[in-house]
Amino acid sequence: MLTGELHILQTRNTPEVVISPEGIIKIKGRALMVNNTEIPELMLNGFEDYLSNPPETTDVIIALEYLT
């Protein structure tokens, strides 16, 4: 269960990710799949935790620059 906010900071090649137990999921920034085609394990775990006990509503914000 997600007990607090998960916040993964943006890098040059990866987006900022915020998963909030209050019902906000935000993915913002650049996603360059240069060397890795897998979604980071920390992000997947955050989504799994969130989905185990989601709030009544969820706002999803995606502002992504995706390059392959």
The answer to whether the CB of 13 falls within 8 A of the CB of 67 is no
Q: For 7-60, what is each residue's pLDDT tens digit?
A: 989 888 888 999 999 999 999 998 876 655 456 788 888 999 999 999 999 999
pLDDT at res. 44: 87
Query: Residue 53 burial (CB < 10 Å; 0-12/13-18/19+)?
Result: exposed
